A and B are shown apart, each in its own frame.
Chain A
Amino acid sequence: MRRLLTLREGSIVVVTILAIAYFAVANDRFLTSANFKTLLPYFAPFAILAVGEVMLMVAGEIDLSIGSVYLFAPFMFYEFHQLGLPLVVDLLLCLVCAALIGALNGVLTAVVGISSFIVTLGTLLGVGGLTLIISGAAPVAMPGAEVHTTTESVKKVVNGHTITLQEQVNHVGGFARVFGAGIYSELIWALLAVALLHVVLRSTRWGMYTVAVGGNRHGAAEAGIKVRSIVIRNFVLCALLAGFVGVLEAMRASSVTPDTAGASETMFRAVSAAVIGGTLLAGGEGTVVGALLGALFLGVLRDGLVLDGVSADYLDFILGFAILIAMAVNIYVGRVRKGSGHA
């Protein structure tokens, strides 16, 4: 226990376990495999968004535009598909579009020198508007995510007798299953993204330079780190992940609606997952694994509260206070950690 608490992610682990324990006691459906599958989309997409945000926040910047990029990418995917390109090419091209937005954010921030908050606020609105224009404000069905229903013979054992029943079975294409529509698809992508970026941030030059840039920009520049290149690279990474999650989520729902009102909410959930996980808004310190846990905590709260039958009017109210109280606990546990001399 003491060892766990000395980790940077220790406090959010404790808080998440407390939340899970509460819901496990309060509702006997919470700790079931069915609910585990239900829980996945509550946190996996936000975990991927959050780890991209962590890389930027460690470098002392923030990207508010991820909500719009998340919305924009699946529409570009659809448009490229309309041109007759195969699905994999559509995906790559729409990710290139997302990366370009990230590069634009990076150049405006690092080269032109506008604060990243304002730059990405601008692209949040601009890219959201662009999505509305491209889509004609109309929802589209995601190519490759069509569901086919077939009737199959399923063998079942009833009272010791094996009988064959005709059952309707739904199928989704392999591409869609890999990219979002499969039950564990988003979880696997999230774990991959977390593992990869954890290594990048902890053990590579890119990661160390990112921490240095966020901690002391002048010092980093004087030490010979190419600050601009690091900042732009992290913006591109963040936008790339946002676009990717956008496609995953659109594939999962099999269609996508240009609701720009939801864009900022998506962004706020990702940023709050990063901060709850232990990344400093001020930069210089952060954890990728913490972002995953932060997203998990928020997902557990939402799923658990809906499962407990909380109606919409009360949900935000309870969610808000739950986050405040959990963060107070988080800080308290954090003090224990600092007191242990491992800070």
Chain B
Amino acid sequence: MHEERGIGGSGRSEVNADIAAEALDRLEWRDARRSTPERAPRFAMARRAALTGGGAALASAMLAACSSGSDAKASSGSAGDTFGSSKKLKFVFVNHVTTNTFFVPTRYGAQDACDLFGAQYQWTGSENSNVNEMVNAMNTAITGGADGLAVALVDDKAFNSPTDAAIKADIPVVGYNADASTNSRLAYIGQDLFASGQEMGNRIVDLVGSGPVALFIATPGSTNLQPRIDGALSVLKAHPSITTSTVATGAAIPAELSTIDSYVTAHSDVKGLFAVDAGSTQSIAQTMQKHSLRGKGVKAGGYDLTPITQKLLASDQLDFTIDQQPYLQGFLPVLELYLYTVSKTLSGMADVNTGLKFLDKTTVKPYNSTKSRYEGSSKAAGVSKS
């Protein structure tokens, strides 16, 4: 069965399971619809306009070519037969930092899952954590009749009403990467942020034992970072021999590096440096190396894997980093949204904790010696030597 929710699109009910036939069918139907008498004048005018110097239209036409590029491609796998659904589902990922390299593996994950299921996805949102822009993108996706939404819930409240609106319109919503406790999303796929912070707290207790420890956070209060530091502090509170200070480092790496550098210069007695975001973790490693803090017995660790973090962890400038598997944060939302839709809401939704993978100087080795889509270091399928 195929359902068309657009205006004036009620004329079709049956569709051949064969995908090629469906595509042909669809094209013919569109053409037929366009030439119905009462609609003709508007379209004819628009077409004429597009031909006679319609600059905006021309520019927009480029997108037709572009959106059929790698981000929106779909394969004709046999998923339709397995799950008894021939509809090509379209999922929309709403992200807070769409062009951030952290999410490159996430996009590969989403793409790979879409290829498996013959679905497609769109990657949109904001480039710089602009919550209003993300809400706009969500609303557009709902209007556009997306089959499912995956949203990085980086704000405690702002996504509640668009999420409710989507669910009311029978569009399933999952959270990924960051979660909001009051949001009515159907599942969360990502790190259990507070729990991972507690684990980091335990590591800090084991590593440092006693003395002053600095905890660095890029942007305090953001829902994808703050719970981690809260988790760590909840554990460290029980160990009065360790004194903590929390330092905000800013969202850009150059600022993070100079903040941590000046902190270390001013606090020569510090016994441990730990961070809860990728940029600060990398900056800690660089600062450790710059001031040869390893020789002074300073412990250090943090989150995520940037190429620099990986290298410096292998060369023993850091004690650990926590991998939250960004690939899964793209793959699993598509998987869950797909299953939820084809099972007609009977199955599919499950909270998944993607991240409590502690890496040390030994276990980080395969990350340094290989290239893959799983780490975003290669476009090619499979894992190759770097």
Contact = CB atoms under 8 A, between A and B. Distances in A.
Interface stretch (B45-53, B202-210, B320-328, B377-385): B45-53
Question: Most B CB atoms within 10 A — which of A34, A42, A306?
Answer: A306
B69 A19 contact: no
A308 to B, nearest CB: 6
B48 to A, nearest CB: 10
B122 interface: yes
A138 B221 contact: yes
Contacts of B62: 318, 321
B42 A24 contact: yes
Question: Most A CB atoms within 10 A — which of B155, B226, B252?
Answer: B155
Contact of B157 (A26, A29, A254): A254
Contact of B71 (A35, A38, A297, A314): A314
Nearest to B30: A28
Given A24-B46, A28-B9, A253-B131, A307 B123 contact: no
A147 B159 CA distance: 11
A121 interface: no
Contacts of A24: 42, 46
B56 A18 contact: yes
A51 B48 CA distance: 33
Given A301-B56, A329-B56, A27 B161 contact: no
Given A38-B136, A326-B59, A255 B122 contact: no
A93 to B, nearest CB: 23
B226 to A, nearest CB: 8
B158 A253 contact: yes
Question: Most B CB atoms within 10 A — which of A24, A302, A313, A332?
Answer: A313
Given A326-B59, A332-B53, A314 B158 contact: no
Contact of B129 (A31, A168, A259, A321): A259
B56 A322 contact: yes
A329 B55 CA distance: 6
B363 interface: no
B69 to A, nearest CB: 7
Interface in A316-343: 317-318, 321-322, 324-326, 328-329, 332
Interface size class of B (residues with CB under 8 A): 35 or more
Nearest to B252: A261
A265 B128 contact: yes
Interface size class of A (residues with CB under 8 A): 35 or more
A323 to B, nearest CB: 8
A128 to B, nearest CB: 12
A310 B57 CA distance: 15
Contacts of B131: 139, 253, 255-257
A32 B72 CA distance: 24
Nearest to A333: B53
B63 A308 contact: yes
Contacts of A303: 136, 140
Contacts of A307: 140, 143-144
A136 interface: yes
Nearest to A330: B55
Contact of B143 (A34, A314, A325): A34
A314 B124 CA distance: 10
B137 interface: yes
Interface in A11-26: 15-19, 21-26
Interface string B249-279: 0111000000000000000000000000000
Interface in B99-157: 99, 120, 122-133, 135-137, 139-145, 155-157
Nearest to A323: B59
A111 interface: no
Given A310-B67, A311-B124, A312-B123, A35 B57 contact: no
Contacts of B220: 136-138
B95 interface: yes
A254 B140 contact: no
B366 interface: no
Nearest to A329: B55
Contact of B57 (A21, A262, A309): A21
B136 A31 contact: no
Contacts of B219: 137-138
B46 A25 contact: yes
Question: Most B CB atoms within 10 A — which of A23, A168, A304, A329?
Answer: A329
B129 A257 contact: yes
Contacts of B43: 25
B140 to A, nearest CB: 5
A262 to B, nearest CB: 4
B27 interface: no
A9 interface: no
A75 to B, nearest CB: 12
A22 B155 contact: no
Nearest to A28: B6
A139 B160 contact: no
A2 to B, nearest CB: 16
Contact of A22 (B56, B122, B126, B158): B56
Nearest to B130: A262
Interface in B28-71: 42-43, 45-47, 49-50, 53-64, 66-67, 69, 71
5 contacts: A15-B56, A23-B60, A25-B46, A37-B139, A297-B56
Given A31-B7, A259-B129, A325-B59, 13 more contacts: A32-B143, A38-B142, A139-B131, A252-B132, A261-B252, A303-B136, A305-B63, A310-B63, A311-B72, A318-B60, A321-B59, A329-B56, A332-B53
